[in-house]
Amino acid sequence: MSAAQLSQLPTDGWPEAALVGRSNAGKSSAMNVICQQHGLARVSKTPGRTQLINLFDIEDRARLIDLPGYGFAQVPIAVRNAWGQLVGGYVEKRDVLKGIIVVMDIRHPLTELDVQMLEWCRDRLLNAHVLLTKADKLSYGAAKNTMLKVQRELKDFDPNMTTQMFSATAKTGVDEARARLDDWLGFAAPVSDPIDEPG
């Protein structure tokens, strides 16, 4: 389902995890690869197409949320402001929200709007994981250096926030991102007790 207003969101108490990011950061592609569903989130050549909160049910007990992208200059300012109120309200008020994956193009991380999103997460003591997408566009060394730089900045900003490299094209970092969502939503496999050795 999709929601244009917070009042339209479900009230059944299922845990939610959300993906959000700049309109051209590769959020839809990342979501499709993580979920192994080619057409789950629409990938558009025109950034800024996601204008609603899109909700995807997982096994009738949790939800993955696709939040509207932010920061695309060609969208009218009134529309941008409405999106900001919708996304900000969701992040600040949604009680069942367990964590947010903040999608950033590895070539342009931690923009002003990215930092604002991380501040919302920090103020709510909300789990936040930075997905540095399009890692295939850089050499491995350059991508690694960018990730380490973002890690250092996040440590000063909020030591609980984490980051990783990701590429939807090369399928880099998919398992790590999926494991993060599984943990937040309660799908992580329980750690079994060690078996006592005989004797």
CA distance 27 to 133: 8
Which of these, 158, 161, 164, 128, lies nearest to 143 by C-alpha position? 164
For residue 169, tell me if it sits in a domain. Answer: yes
For residue 191, tell me if it sits in a domain. Answer: no
Range of the domain at 117: 2-185
pTM of the model: 0.88
Q: In the predicted model, what is the mean pLDDT of the chain? A: 87
List the CATH number of the domain containing 65: 3.40.50.300
For residue 112, tell me if it sits in a domain. Answer: yes
pLDDT for 123: 93
Alpha-helical runs (H) found in the chain = 27-35, 77-93, 112-123, 140-157, 174-185
CB distance 41 to 54 below 8 Å: yes
Give the chain's domain count.
1
Q: Given CA atoms 79, 82, 86, 91 in this order, what sign does their dihedral have?
A: positive
For residue 127, tell me if it sits in a domain. Answer: yes
Q: pLDDT digits over 25-84, tens only?
A: 999 899 999 998 876 765 554 444 557 899 999 999 999 999 988 876 566 777 777 777
